[in-house]
Structure 1
Amino acid sequence: MTTTQGLDAAGFIAREGSLTRMPAPFAPVVGAARERIARGFGPDRLHSAYLYGSIPRGTARPGVSDLDLLLALHHEPTAADRADADALEAALDTEFAQVDGVGVLLFGTGTLLSELERHDLGWFVACLCTPLFGVDLATRLPRYRPTSLLARETNGDLAVALPGWRERAATATTDAELRALTRAVTRRIVRTGFTLVMPRWGGWTSDLTASAEAFAAYYPEHADRMRLAAATARTPAADRAPAVDRGVLTMLIDDLGPWLAAEYTAVHGEKAPRP
C-alpha cells in the first residue's frame, strides 16, 4: 500500500503503475499490444512484457500520450528482434489515434537481472514497469529506497548524453526531429533534477511538475529553468513552435544541463560505466 511520496508503509518505493489505473480509451491499444507481442515474439524469445509511463499511472491523455513497452527476452536482443519491435511500434502508432508514438525497449533477462543494472534497469522494472504477461522479474529483484546509490545509478551519466544532444540539435533539419529531441531532453533533465534531490526529498515521483517543484525547493536559483523544462515536456509537440524548442534546447544543453551534470557528480558520484 502506498503511503506518502511514492513510498509504501515500510519506506520502499512502491510500484507506481497498475492496469487498473489505465484510462479507458487506452484499453484497446494495450490489448492489441499484448496480443501482438505474444503472437509476434512467442515463448521461445519472450520471457515477460511490461507497460510503463503515463498509461499505467493513469495520467495519459488520448491523442497526446505515447505507449511505452518493455520486452524482457530470454536472450540478448538481436537485429531481428529490433526489426520486429520496430514493426510493432509502427503498426500500433498508425492504427490507434489514442497514442502519439509507440516505444518498445528490448533487453535480455541476463542484463535486467545483472548486478551492474541492479539499481538502474532492475529498479526500473521493479518499480516503474507494470507486468502485461509472463513471470514478473520484480520477484527476483530487491526492494528499493530513494538513496544516493539509486540516484547515482539511474541518472549519474547526464554528462555523457550532452555531447550527443548538442550534435543532434545542430543537425536537426525538420520540426519532427527537433520536437523528438526536445521531448527526450526535457524529460531527462527534469528527471535528473529530481533524482539529484530525491534522497533529501525522501520519496519518488514520475510526475514532471512535482519533480520540478521538488528540485526547486533545494535549488531555487535554478527553479525557473527547471519549471520551463517540465512545462515544455508536458506541452503537446503540435502546440509548440520550432523557435520555442530551439530556445529551450539551447538553454538546457548549454546552460542548465552542464551545471546539473557537474552538481550531480559532486553530490552522488558518477554512474558505473557500461560496456
Structure 2
Amino acid sequence: MHERGLDRDGTIAREGALERVPAPFVSVVDAARAHVAAAFDSTRLHSAYLYGSVPRGTATPGVSDLDLQLALHEEPTAGDRADATAIEGALDRAFPQIDGAGILLTSAQRLLSETERHDGGFFIACLCTPLLGPDLAAQLPRFRPTTLLARETNGDLARMLPRWRAQAAAATTDADRRVLGRSVGRRTVRTGFTLIMPRWGGWTSDLDRSTELFGGYYPERAEQMRVASAAGRAPSPDPAVLEMLIDDLGPWLAAEYAAVHGVKTLHT
C-alpha cells in the first residue's frame, strides 16, 4: 500500500515527518520553529506545521522553498500577516539553501470546520507535519482517495484562471513571471493528479510522480503537464509558458475536472 501513499486500511498516510527533513534543512526548520514561537505566543498560536518537499525529505538545496501552516486561535489579522511576512523574509535572507519561505495563516476553528473537512482538514491531517503545539489531525477523520476529496481539494480551477490571467498581464519582470509560474505550475500538476486520483487509488504530492501518473490516463496532454511540472520546480520567465498553462491546459483541465468530479462547493 505504501507505494500508493496509503496505510494498511486504505486511508491516505501522512506524507511527511521531522525525521525525514534532509540534513541541509534541519537548521532552517529549527530557525523557523524559533521564529514562530517568538512571534506568536500561545494566546495567538494553536499549532504550527511544515508541509511540502522539506518534511517529505525530497527538498533540493538552493531550489526548494520552506512552507509552513500556522493554525491560530482566531481568524488571522493584519498584524498576524505582518508578523508572518517578517518571518518569511528573515528565513529567506538567513538560509541560502531555501529559495524563499511561505507561511499560511488559518484559524484552527476553520481548519476543523465541516466546510473545510475535505480541503483544509485533509491538508492538515495528511499533508502537514506538526512543528509546534497540539496536532489538529487528532480531531480529524482518516481520508480516502475519493471523488469527494478530489472535488473539494482542487475542483475550483476554473475560478483561478481569471485571477492568473490578470496576474500574468500585470507581470512586468522575469521575477514576477517566475513567481506566478511556480504557483500556476504546482497547482496545475496537483489538479491533474487529483483528476485521476480516484481511478489510480492512491495519493502522492511528488510533482514528477503526479505528472507521470496523469500522463498514463491523458497521454495527449502529458507533454503540457510535464511543462507545468517543470514550471512548478524551476519556473521559466517565458510568457509563452504561462500562456499555455493558463489559456490552453488550464481551461481544458477545468472542464474535464468538472465533468469527472464536479465543481468545488462554494462556502460563504
TM-score range, shorter chain: over 0.9
Q: Which digits, 9 at most, give the CA deviation of each residue in 1:151-180, with x for residues without a partner? A: 000000000000010111111101111000
Aligned to 1:248: 241
Offset at 1:3?
Answer: 2.2
CA distance in 2, matches of 1:228, 1:87: 33
Offset at 1:137?
Answer: 0.1
Q: Which digits, 9 at most, give the CA deviation of each residue in 1:62-101, with x for residues without a partner? A: 1111010000001110111111111111111111111110
CA distance in 1, matches of 2:222, 2:213: 9
CA distance in 1, matches of 2:62, 2:160: 29
Helix, strand or coil at the partner of 1:106: strand
Letter in 1 for 2:247: D
CA distance in 2, matches of 1:30, 1:209: 25
**Residue 257 of structure 1: which of 241, 244, 250 is its match?**
250
Aligned to 1:232: 231
1:271 to 2:264 alignment: yes
Q: Which digits, 9 at most, give the CA deviation of each residue in 1:9-31, with x for residues without a partner? A: 11110000001110011111110
Helix, strand or coil at the partner of 1:105: strand
CA distance in 1, matches of 2:244, 2:131: 39
Aligned to 2:157: 158
User: 1:209-228 residue pairs with structure 2 within 5 A?
Assistant: 209-228=208-227
Offset at 1:192?
Answer: 0.2
Q: TM-score, normalised by structure 1?
A: 0.95
Helix, strand or coil at the partner of 1:116: helix
Q: Which digits, 9 at most, give the CA deviation of each residue in 1:208-231, with x for residues without a partner? A: 111111111111111111112112
CA distance in 1, matches of 2:245, 2:115: 29
Helix, strand or coil at the partner of 2:106: strand
Offset at 1:133?
Answer: 1.6
CA distance in 2, matches of 1:16, 1:28: 21
CA distance in 2, matches of 1:107, 1:56: 20
Unaligned runs of 5+ in 2: none
User: 1:27-176 residue pairs with structure 2 within 5 A?
Assistant: 27-176=26-175
Q: Which digits, 9 at most, give the CA deviation of each residue in 1:181-230, with x for residues without a partner? A: 00000110010000000000110001111111111111111111111211
CA distance in 2, matches of 1:17, 1:216: 25
Letter in 2 for 1:72: A
Q: Percent identity?
A: 66
Helix, strand or coil at the partner of 2:115: coil
Helix, strand or coil at the partner of 1:42: coil
CA distance in 2, matches of 1:263, 1:29: 40
CA distance in 2, matches of 1:266, 1:128: 26
CA distance in 2, matches of 1:184, 1:234: 10
Q: Which digits, 9 at most, give the CA deviation of each residue in 1:127-160, with x for residues without a partner? A: 0000002100000000000000000000000000
